Amino acid sequence: MRQIDVHKIADEARFNGFHGLVLFWCALIIIFDGYDLAVAGIALPSIMKQMGVDPTQAGFMVSSALFGMMFGAIFLGTIADRIGRRWAIVICIALFSLFTAAAGLTNDPVMFSVTRFLAGLGIGGVMPNVVAQMTEYSPKRIRSTMVTLMFSGYAVGGMLAAVLGKGLIESYGWQSVFFAAALPVVLIPFVLKSLPESMPFLLKQGRHEELKAILARLEPGFRPTASDRFALPTEDKADDVPVRHLFQEGRGFSTVMFWIAFFMCLFMVYALSSWLTKLMASAGYSLGSALTFVLTLNFGAVIGAVGGGWLADKFNIKWVLFSMYVLAAVSITMLGVPMPTEALFLVVGLAGASTIGTQIVTYAYAGQFYPMAIRSTGIGFASGVGRSGAILAPIVIGTLVSVALPLQQNFIAIAIPAVIAAVAVAMINHDRSATAHQEDKSTGSLDPAPGGVGIEGR
């Protein structure tokens, strides 16, 4: 009889077509997710004109999706550890696709807000699930890179909304960009067929044949036998109350630190995305230049996400993340300092890399901190708490803008959360992470079977 360490096989596998397939589906889902979130902002001027709403009403219409994302991240992140991650992802795709399309059928602000809230449930719920999926199935040595590369699809979705939005709205009206969001529904059967289920969930369900098939694809050198028995570390075993595990085995304090980091990071991201154009325009830049700053911010985000993920795989992810938050504090503060336009573009790019990019690396760290069985729950709760920062940011910074503070003081207000987040990350107990536990176990007495697939013989 062989005792198969499922986690070890996933950690030590070499990148192959199976990993590429998981990366493809997760990245594609995130691209659609990013499109659905960004599309309301792209169409907002046309919506305001047709529905006759003022800026305050428009703000509530847009923020309704953020409220949905907060509840979706918590509920659909947690439910994935009960019904299976694949079905949770499919439910999220259906929610954000169908209800974003439904928003295009509305004629009044209230119904628009309701449909955007329901779409937000799916937009927020899919994030912790695809991060958990990508973390579980990525080889350990490139795990952060794969998660951040996948999550960069979020910025791609936003850019796609901007590019398609202009042409579609001019030709067919604002409703067309919402109708286009229904396309991912046709992919649901392919997602169910191609995307693997979470391994702890399969173990909990006793679906060993499916698990054997997945392991054989993860590591082609693995040859399943009828007598195989599968094992996970105690903290990776699924049960029916995953939430309580966020505060057990020494993880409680670090869980709260993750919540603070998520809150502060999303506060910065949405403060900049909501007010950068306005602040730059008030500083004397033309609207065209101010919009270019937003594109530069998002371009920097992609570089920061992938670069941060690469660094996190080379060095300790905790201290890479800490350094990125420090860079965010410095670069955002510098946005209020007079400098040549070329230098300002560089600083805006650094701000994008160290805020939006850092958000993605923070997701990657949370995914590596929590064991497999509670990974979706851990990321979901952190993301849900963080969404309250996203909701508050436009309101808080808008209030500061309305009192006409000097430009630099506005940016200092946005930079302060970066300092708080850096302190929170520094206080996370990395020794309690699932990654550290696996490193400890790998120095033990397990003898891998021939082929290096992490099989312990008994």
**pLDDT at position 99, please?**
93
**pLDDT at position 224, please?**
67
**pLDDT at position 324, please?**
92
- Contact at 8 Å (CB) between 411 and 336? yes
pLDDT at 237 over 70: no
104 or 404, which is more confident = 104
382 or 236, which is more confident = 382
Share of the chain above pLDDT 70, in %: 81
Q: What is the mean pLDDT of the chain?
A: 79
CA distance 412 to 400: 11
Question: What's the CATH code of the domain at 434?
Answer: 1.20.1250.20
- Shared-domain flag, residues 143 and 281: no
Q: Picking from 116-130, 153-167, 262-276, which range would have the lowest pLDDT averaged per residue?
A: 153-167
- Shared-domain flag, residues 108 and 188: yes
**Range of 263-267, 308-312, 366-370 with top mean pLDDT:** 263-267
pLDDT at 441 over 70: no
Q: Please check whether residue 456 lies inside any domain of the structure.
A: no
Residue whose structure tokens are 């979020």: 154
- Shared-domain flag, residues 257 and 164: no
**pLDDT at position 243, please?**
67
**Domain limit, last residue, from 232, 261, 278:** 232
Q: Picking from 24-38, 222-236, 417-431, which range would have the lowest pLDDT averaged per residue?
A: 222-236
The domain total for the chain is 2
CA distance 418 to 333: 10
Q: Which of 159, 28, 33 is nearest to 92 (CA)?
A: 33
- Shared-domain flag, residues 116 and 66: yes
Count other C-beta atoms under 10 Å from residue 250's C-beta: 10
- Shared-domain flag, residues 12 and 126: yes
396 or 237, which is more confident = 396
Q: Picking from 78-92, 262-276, 328-342, 389-403, which range would have the lowest pLDDT averaged per residue?
A: 389-403
- Shared-domain flag, residues 10 and 70: yes
**Mean pLDDT within 155-172:** 77
Q: How far is CA 64 from CA 67, 116, 235, 371, in A?
A: 5, 6, 36, 32
**Mean pLDDT within 275-285:** 68
> For the CA atoms of 231, 237, 239, 243, what is the dihedral angle to 10 degrees?
-170
Q: Which two tokens stand for residue 36?
A: 């659905």
**pLDDT at position 262, please?**
92
Q: Please check whether residue 455 lies inside any domain of the structure.
A: no
DSSP letters for 427-444 = TS-GGGSHHHHHHHHHTS
**pLDDT at position 445, please?**
35
pLDDT tens profile 131-160? 888 888 888 888 888 888 888 887 778 778
**Domain limit, last residue, from 232, 256, 278:** 232
Q: What share of the chain is helix, strand, coil (3-state, %, to 5)?
A: 80, 0, 20
310 or 80, which is more confident = 310
Range of 394's domain? 239-439
pLDDT tens profile 186-206? 999 998 888 888 887 888 777
- Shared-domain flag, residues 184 and 216: yes
CA distance 290 to 283: 10
Q: How far apart are the first and last CA of the chain?
A: 6
**pLDDT at position 452, please?**
37
pLDDT tens profile 397-429? 777 766 777 777 888 888 899 999 999 999 988
Count Cα atoms within 13 angstroms, Cβ side, for 105: 10
